[in-house]
Chain A
Amino acid sequence: MAAKSWRLLRQLPWYGLMLVAVFAIGLPLFWVATGSLKTTREIYTFPPVWLPQHPRWDNFSAAWHAAPFGRFYLNSIIVTLADTAAKLFFALTTAYALVFLNIRGRNLVFLFVLAALFVPVQVTLLPNYLTVGRLGWINTYFGLIVPMMPVAFGTFLFRQHFRTLSREVLDAAVIDGCGHWRLLWDVVLPMSRPVAVTVGLLALVGRWNDFLWPLVVTNTVEMRTLPVGITYLYQVEGVQNWGPIFAGTLFVMVPVLLVYIVAQRWIVSGITSGAVKG
């Protein structure tokens, strides 16, 4: 008992530091959560109002009714799930091919995939818009989903991970006459779950939060996604109403946080199991 409390005491400074870090990162999140319940006037009060006197839940309904947010959610979910599934599938199969299939020039292909990391989305915006226009996909789900399907970083993570897999297990499976397709789904994938979760999560988050492409490729309110939908809460030449805007940002952030809470225990091991290797 005494030893225990002695250890606690010795670790006190570390606990202090941990608290500081958690506060520094967590406070802004607390701020937006409470801000969504404040009046514009309370938001602009100094010293800050920590907890709104009379929580204004109607900020949420005001935001919700300012634009068809139900529809935005639906679109965001469709686009995000389709892209995440596609990215996972492509990353898996591509990485598998790069590691387990004997091809000359494998490394060149890998370089081709990797170099795509250096092409920022904003740079591809206009040409892709023109391509999508030629395909007749402007303002359609195809236009929202397909151009975002190709996957470079996920392929890289899977590849790094596959290279660490124990060859014995794989060889055993091959000797048993397992085809590559089976090998991928029944042997390799179960051994790569954390990486799969990570690749999935990164794709999910990236697409869910994506703003620029959906803004460019959609024209009508029926096709907008959530992050674009929030702009409906702003004013061109008018007065910004902060409470509903805060509420709107929560519409975007809360689902991601929920997914994160569920997937959280996989993430740390996943992001890294392939990446950081001796």
Chain B
Amino acid sequence: MARDVVQPAAVSGLHWRAMLTWMQQKLGDWPLFVLFAGPNLVLLAIFTYWPLLYNVYLSLTSWDLIAPVKPFVGLTNYRNLAASAEFRTVLLNTAIFALGTVGGTTILGLALALLLNLRLRGRTLARAIIFAPVLLSGAAISVFWINMLDPRFGLVALPLRWLGLPVPDWLNSPHWAMVAVILVYIWQNTGFSMVLYLAGLQNIPHELYEAARIDGAGAVASFRHVTLPQLGPTTLFVLVVSVINSFQAFDLIKVLTDGGPVNATTTLLFYIYQQGFVAFNAGRAAAASIVLFVLLLGLSLLQLRLGERRVHYGG
């Protein structure tokens, strides 16, 4: 992998250590860099970027995954996507899902972090419990949530009945299915945002609060003028990571609703999976993949750009 750097005449008789020194002068840190970062970069190229390029190619064909030939159709797949009402629904679903999950986990995560940053007894245990679902298998979680969301036997029906509220048939109703999937997602992932915010809170220098107090600020004012601005970078990071995660949610949707009922919970990623592996439209799935990649990259860059401008880094 490292470029062959032997200059036959010049160095053949030299001691290897001298050669090393010579290489160092000549090439600087390059050989080391290749040794250190090379394997990972090569693997990334093979297993992440090659598939992406291959998808670009596939998106220009109408392949059914079996036929020996992959008929070239130009931009037809993209045109079909743009014209398809189903795809618009999918994009809308994706937006709703992302807003719901990112908003929910961020706000709740911040609230919980503020709460568990207080000096309460047992807060360590509480933090640990709230973070635990982050580590669990989405497929496993979905299995028992299906049971808990059952309108007739489910645990979720219990508080609703106490309150005298109607119990929706969560996973069978087009409106509630999305709500249910978002709720389960929030249940699983809030702990992650909370932990990030906790660390952010602990990084705020105490002097700032001191100074605010001297200036006569109350709790609310110091929260507004110290805590929130200081949490800017944390929020930016939380948002970027949450958006990436939200767009890549799969296991929950697969097991809870399988994208239904009536496509109500089919997000962009799920649509790609369905088109590629259920309907065998490799071309259309690939085109949707490219759309997803561009969307994600664009969104993140936009967030970072806006963030850079808005977030002022304290200190």
Q: Mask for A106-130, Cβ within 8 A of B = 1, else 0?
A: 0001001101111111111111101
> Is A221 interfacial (CB-CB < 8 Å)?
no
Contact A131 B47 (CB under 8 A): yes
Point out the residues of chain A lying under 8 angstroms from B66, CB to CB. none
Kindly state the interface size class of chain B when it binds its partner. 35 or more
Contact B37 A98 (CB under 8 A): yes
- Contact residues of B between 47 and 77, Cβ < 8 Å to A: 47-52, 54-55, 65
Complex interface bits, B9-24 against A, C-beta within 8 A gives 1, otherwise 0: 0000000000000000
Which candidate, A55-63, A66-74, A166-174, A251-259, is the interface stretch facing chain B? A251-259
B303 at the binding interface (Cβ < 8 Å): no
B48 to chain A: which residues have CB within 8 Å?
116, 119, 124, 150, 152
A5 interface contact, C-beta 8 A: no
Docked pose: A103 CA to B38 CA in angstroms: 13
* Stretch in B81-89, B94-102, B247-255 touching the partner: B247-255
Q: Is the CB of B302 closer than 8 A to any CB of chain A? A: no
Give which listed residue, A24, A28, A48, A267, contacts B158 with CB less than 8 A. Answer: A48
Taking a contact as CB atoms under 8 Å apart, the answer to whether A272 and B272 are in contact is no
Tell me if B122 counts as interface (CB < 8 A to partner A): yes
- Whether B127 pairs with A103 at a CB distance below 8 angstroms is no
Q: Which of B135, B234, B296 contacts A256 (CB 8 A)?
A: B135
For A271, give its contact among B153, B196, B247 (CB under 8 Å). Answer: B196
A246 to chain B, nearest CB (A): 6
Say whether B137 contacts A278, CB under 8 Å.
no
Query: B220-249 toward A: CB 8 Å interface, digit per residue (1/0)?
Result: 000000000000011001000000100110
Cβ B29 vs Cβ A102 within 8 A: yes
| Residue of B125, B136, B234, B250 touching A253 (CB-CB under 8 A) | B136
* Given A48-B155, A122-B250: A264 touches B282 (CB 8 Å cut-off): no
Chain A contacts for B203, CB-based, 8 A: 276, 278
- Decide if A165 is an interface residue (CB 8 Å cutoff): no
| A94 CB contacts on chain B under 8 angstroms | 36-37, 40-41
Complex Cα distance, B122 from A268, in Å, reads 16
Contacts of A185 in B (CB 8 A): none
Within 8 Å by CB of A211, from B37, B139, B198, lies: B139
* Most chain B Cβ neighbours within 10 Å, of A118, A128, A205, A272: A118
Q: Which of B54, B125, B140 lies in contact with A249, CB distance below 8 A?
A: B140
List the B residue with the shortest CB-CB distance to A153.
Answer: B241
Q: Collect the chain B residues with CB atoms within 8 Å of residue A155's CB.
A: 40
Q: Identify the stretch in B111-119, B169-177, B210-218 within 8 Å (CB) of chain A at 4 or more residues.
A: B111-119
Contact A18 B43 (CB under 8 A): no
> How distant is B145 from chain A, measured CB to nearest CB, in Å?
7
Given that A21-B115, A131-B50, A209-B136 are known contacts, is A119 also in contact with B293, CB under 8 Å in the complex? yes
Q: In the complex, are the beta carbons of A21 and B126 less than 8 A apart?
A: yes
Q: Do A126 and B196 touch across chains, with their CB atoms under 8 A apart?
A: no
B287-302 contact mask (Cβ, 8 Å, vs A): 1 or 0? 0010011001100100
**A26 and B37 form a contact (CB under 8 A):** no
Return chain B residues, CB-CB under 8 Å to A261: 128
CA distance A84 to B247 in the complex (A): 24
Count residues on chain A whose CB falls below 8 Å from chain B CBs. 89
**Shortest distance between the CB of B12 and any CB in chain A (Å):** 25
The smallest C-beta distance from B74 to any residue of chain A, in angstroms, reads: 21
Say whether A109 contacts B54, CB under 8 Å.
no
Chain B residue contacts of A28, Cβ below 8 A:
141, 144-145, 148, 155, 187
Q: Which residue of B lies closest to A155 (CB)?
A: B40
Residues 232-278 of A at the B interface (beta carbon under 8 Å): 242, 245-246, 249, 252-253, 256-257, 260-261, 264, 267-269, 271-273, 275-278
For B144, what are the chain A residues with a Cβ–Cβ distance below 8 Å?
A: 28, 31-32, 35, 246, 249
Q: Are the C-beta atoms of B47 and A118 separated by less than 8 Å?
A: no
Is the CB–CB distance between A29 and B282 below 8 Å? no
Contact of A150 among B36, B40, B293 (CB under 8 A): B40
Q: A17-B115, A102-B29, A276-B237 are in contact. Are A96 and B36 (CB under 8 A)?
A: yes
Decide yes or no: A128 and B47 within 8 Å by CB, A14-B120, A118-B244, A211-B251 being known contacts: yes
Instruction: Check: A212 CB closer than 8 A to any chain B CB.
Output: yes
- Contact status A25-B276, CB under 8 Å: no
Inter-subunit contact A101/B33 (CB<8 Å): yes
- A149 at interface (Cβ–Cβ under 8 A)? yes
> Which chain A residues lie closer than 8 Å to B138 at the CB level?
209, 211
Q: How far is the CA of A97 from the CA of B132 in the complex (A)?
A: 33
Query: In the complex, A268 Cα to B234 Cα: how many Å?
Result: 14
The answer, yes or no, to whether A27 is at the interface (CB within 8 Å) is yes
B40 and A151 within 8 A (CB): yes
Kindly state whether residue A162 has any CB partner on chain B within 8 Å. Answer: no
A48: nearest residue on chain B (CB-CB)?
Answer: B155
Residues of B within 8 A of A14 (CB): 115, 118, 120
Residues of B within 8 A of A118 (CB): 244, 293, 296-297, 300
User: Given A119-B52, A246-B143, list of 9 further CB < 8 A pairs?
Assistant: A28-B155, A103-B29, A103-B30, A119-B49, A120-B248, A120-B250, A150-B40, A211-B137, A230-B139
- A residues with a Cβ closer than 8 A to B are 11, 14-15, 17-18, 21-22, 24-29, 31-32, 35, 43-48, 90-91, 93-94, 96-98, 101-103, 109, 112-113, 115-128, 130-131, 146-152, 155, 180, 201, 205, 208-209, 211-212, 227, 230, 242, 245-246, 249, 252-253, 256-257, 260-261, 264, 267-269, 271-273, 275-278
